[in-house]
Every structure is written in C-alpha cells, then in structure tokens.
Structure 1
Amino acid sequence: MPEPADFLATAEAAAEAAGAVIRPLFRSALLVEAKGDASPVTEADRAAERAIRALIADRHPDHGVIGEEYGDSNPGADWVWVLDPIDGTRAFVTGRPLFGTLIGLLHRGVPVLGLIDQPATGERWTGLAGQPTRFRSAMGGVPRCRPCPRLEEAELSCTSPDMFDAATAPRFAAVKAAARRTTWGGDCYAYGLLALGLVDLVVDATMKPWDWAALVPVIEGAGGRCTDWAGRPLRLDGDGTVLAAGDPALLAEASKLLAG
C-alpha cells in the first residue's frame, strides 16, 4: 500500500507548476472578477488549479481532487488531493506576499500530506504525517513551534474579523482579550509563521477544506496542533472553525473560551 511520502514528489511538482503560473501574474494588471462570496478571483487562481489538476490526473488517475475553483472529482477515493491555488487572493491582487498555494492530501478523510508554497518569496513548508516539517527559504528559519503554555503570553493571529458572525464573534473576542496581542491578515502564511515559532495561536472560522487540509500536517509536524474550536480533528463535514496552537498546552484554554 502506498505511503504519504510516496506522493511527496507529486506535491512538490504541483507547487512548481502552480508557481510558474502565479509568479508572472503577481503585481501585474489583472482582470479581477467577483465570486458569489465576493472574494476576488483572477486567472492566476484558475490557471494554477488547472495545472495542478492536470499533473495529478497524469500521475494518479485513481485519486480524487477537491479544489476551490473547479470543485470535486472522484471525492470518494481513498486518496484525495485538496487544492487552494491561491489562498489569500485579496493579498495577491493587492501585491502583498501574504498568500500561498495550498496542496493537501487526505487518506480516507485524514490529512496526511500538506504543502504551503509562497511562490513570490520562494518559501515552502512541507509536512508528512508522523514526520518533522521541512521548510525551504533563502531567508532561513527553523520549522519548530515554540513553547507558550499560557494564553496571556500568546501571539494570536486571525485572517479577518469579517469571518465572524453574531454567534462566533463573542467567542473569538474572548480569546483575543486573553491573548497578549492580535495580528490580522496572513491567511495560510500565518499558519506557516506558527510552524516557525513566530506566532502562537491562529483562530479562524468559515474555513473550507481547501483552506485547512494542507495546514494540518505542516503544523503538527512542527510540534503544534490544528483542530476545530472544540479541539476535535478537522473533518470534511466539519463546522468551518479552525484553531491552530503552536504549544498544545494552549489548546484546552483556547477551546474553552471558543466554546462560549
């Protein structure tokens, strides 16, 4: 039976293919459309996902794919790739390098391989279930979450306050009030920073599978935990909440506040 590591070369090649599409378009004049959820979509999103899908179809025709731009194909397969060609499209279209390509692989619904690629800076995080996270960057950095057992000492990050509704906003506010400091924005890049020991906690909501599938192996391979707000494993049919803690000791306190 194949192991997750057997598919690492595919994930790396997919990131290279996506990056070759994305880099020439970054900070260029792009036609930006509006999706139903009002997030911007560019040709870079679509072309990058097409490139990844073509590579997966060629190498692993029996695998499934779940992608943000082109939906599901064979999602009931044992091995399913979960793709977000540009996570943080708002950052991309405004020229900020706080976006990334997310390539995750699920085995029977469980995240076993994850890759976060920042094609503009050349940074790449790679996680495999049961193995230490790897990080590639000309700027250096060690993929290891730092100790931070107390919420009052934690650096908290969140993609946007706009992702919370009347039910979730007070729960997030409780964590924000307890944390040392809060930084907004970053999308998947914030989770990469958590894996480098620069952020201690990331709390998001309304997350889709393509937003979190690649993050789990990266964070857990760096010593952290990535769950829903109740501390449960993330699932395809979950509620869209995500809680990433660099120090697992933070998980119980944060989950208690997020439970309301």
Structure 2
Amino acid sequence: MLTQTEVEDIRSTAAALADAARTATLAHFRKPGLTADTKETTHFDPVTIADRESELAMRDILERRRPQDGILGEEFGPKSGTSGLTWVLDPIDGTRGYLSGTPTWGVLISVADASGPIYGLIDQPYIQERFEGGFGLASVNGPMGASPLKTRASCDLSQAILLSTFPEVGNEEEGRAFRRVAEQVRLVRYGMDCYGYALLAAGQVDLVIEAGLQTYDVQAPIAVIEAAGGVVTNWQGHSARAGGQVLAAANPEIHAAAMAFLNG
C-alpha cells in the first residue's frame, strides 16, 4: 500500500512528465518540414523527432525524481527498477494524427504495479486537456476548467456511440467482429486515437473498440476509464493491460452487450 506522500509524489511526477512532453511535442506540431521514419517495412508506422524528444524528456525526469522505478516506453524500451512500480510511457499516441495536424493525438503516462495500471494521465498538449485517473481521483482539467470524470449511464446498444481509430479494425476476423457491433449502435466515429478513451471517461460516448494495441497504448486509458466508473477488458472479458484487443465501455451493461456481438 502506497502512503499518501508516495501518492502525491507520483502525481506530481506524472504532471511534470506531461508538462515536459507538452513542450517537446508542441515544438514540432504543425511545423513545416516535419518528417517521419517508419518502424515497419510492410506498412507505414511513423515515428518522428517529437516522439523521441518527448520520451527522452520524460525519462530524464524519472531518472532524477524516481530512479527506483522501472520504465516501459514505446521508443526506447524497458528499464528495470527495484520499487515494484513501472512507468508506462507513450510519448505520442496517434503519430499519424500528429503528422496530419489533427488534435486527437496525446501523451499517455501511467504507473503500474504487479496487478496492472494503478494511475494514469491522458494529456492532449494542443487542446491543453489533461485527464487523470487513479488513487480515488477522476478528473479533467483544461480550457473549460476542472471537472470530475464520470462515464455514461447504461443505455440500449441501439442508442450507443462507438469510437475507434481505424475503420479496418485488426485482422479480417477481428474486423468482422467489430462490424457486428457497429451495425447495432446509433453512431460510429473513427480517427480518435487516445482521445476516444478520454471522451469515454468524460461521459461523451459509450464504447471504444480496437485491436492490435500495445501495452503503452492501453495502460493509461485503463486507469482513467476505470477511475471514472467504466470497464476495460479484452474482447473475451479478460485483462487488457498487455494490449491486443480492447473493449472499453461506459458501464458493465453496455460492455456485456458489445462483447456478445464481438464473440458472435
């Protein structure tokens, strides 16, 4: 069990990481000449100078403030620790959106113990909204002020709003499963990146369904959504903390309804 002093130090450290990532990412956002390398040879999986500078800035703060903790970052791999806590960092979630100039990308920061994520931030530097969840807290702070996060109440699946990042969700079989749910809901929107999970925590939508995710894509959203009252699992109802298939829902009822269609 963490002491209140330890909790406060984790929260203040996470805020410092998010502030540093804002500076690093906004230095290149919508600037002429921004280019990207690709991590894959079969499809475009971009990484930019902003991804690397953002993660390096966060790692530097952790080395100074919490050297006892482990780190798992998208761009520079794992670092072991001795505290039992690991910081999971996605320096830009939604690099394709970042390259396109859209504001739905974000910075994901979470802290995990052996049980999974216990605290998370979803930060959107350009919009300047920061969603926080864990340690009994669930809130968003941005241009419209601060307010608590609370997921939506239950509704029939036919009235639900569903978000995903790509219309082509996962492999062919996963795509068919996704479309079974999409055919049942009232509205489907795409291209959200991590901002979709923030909107679910804020009570704006009912479902986010994705596949092919990595650990650093999901751990902060899990912490924030669960703190706001939502449910996040894989498509079979098990832990999603390692990534892969993700079903995020505003409440247990809509989660069960969506999972039934995902599994045929």
- TM-score normalised by structure 1 residue count: 0.93
User: What is the CA distance between 1:42 and its match in structure 2?
Assistant: 0.8
Q: What amino acid does structure 2 have at the position aligned with 1:133?
A: A
Contact 2:218/2:241 (8 A) holds in 1: no
- Residues 152-167 of structure 1: pairs in structure 2 closer than 5 A: 152-167=158-173
Residue in structure 1 matching 2:220, options 214, 217, 228? 214
Residue in structure 1 matching 2:258, options 233, 238, 254? 254
Aligned to 2:18: 15
Residue in structure 2 matching 1:242, options 237, 243, 246? 246
Residue in structure 2 matching 1:133, options 128, 135, 138? 138
In structure 1, the residue corresponding to 2:89 is in which secondary structure? strand
User: What is the CA distance between 1:142 and its match in structure 2?
Assistant: 4.7
The 2-side partners of 1:76 and 1:226 are apart by: 28
User: What is the CA distance between 1:76 and its match in structure 2?
Assistant: 8.2
Contact 2:138/2:148 (8 A) holds in 1: no
In structure 1, the residue corresponding to 2:101 is in which secondary structure? coil
The 2-side partners of 1:26 and 1:186 are apart by: 17
Residue in structure 2 matching 1:232, options 226, 238, 243? 238
Flag the 1:76–1:213 CA change in 2: closer, same or farther, 3 A: farther
Aligned to 2:28: 25
Residue-by-residue CA offset, 1:217-259 (whole Å, 9 max, x unaligned): 11111111111111222233x6x01111012211111111112
User: What is the CA distance between 1:77 and its match in structure 2?
Assistant: 5.9
Aligned to 1:5: 7
Contact 1:109/1:235 (8 A) holds in 2: no
Aligned to 1:110: 116
Contact 2:68/2:81 (8 A) holds in 1: no
Aligned to 2:94: 88
In structure 2, the residue corresponding to 1:46 is in which secondary structure? helix
Contact 1:149/1:247 (8 A) holds in 2: no
The 2-side partners of 1:132 and 1:52 are apart by: 22
Q: What amino acid does structure 2 have at the position aligned with 1:50?
A: L
- Residues 51-200 of structure 1: pairs in structure 2 closer than 5 A: 51-74=57-80, 78-129=84-135, 131-140=136-145, 142-200=148-206
The 1-side partners of 2:50 and 2:140 are apart by: 24
* Consecutive unaligned residues in structure 2, runs of 5 or more: none
In structure 1, the residue corresponding to 2:257 is in which secondary structure? helix
Q: What amino acid does structure 2 have at the position aligned with 1:258?
A: L
Over the aligned positions, Cα root-mean-square deviation in angstroms equals: 1.7
User: What is the CA distance between 1:27 and its match in structure 2?
Assistant: 0.3
User: What is the CA distance between 1:69 and its match in structure 2?
Assistant: 0.6
Contact 1:199/1:246 (8 A) holds in 2: yes
* Consecutive unaligned residues in structure 1, runs of 5 or more: none
User: What is the CA distance between 1:148 and its match in structure 2?
Assistant: 3.0
Residue-by-residue CA offset, 1:65-106 (whole Å, 9 max, x unaligned): 111111111178610111100001111111111110000110
Of all paired residues, the percent bearing the same amino acid is 39
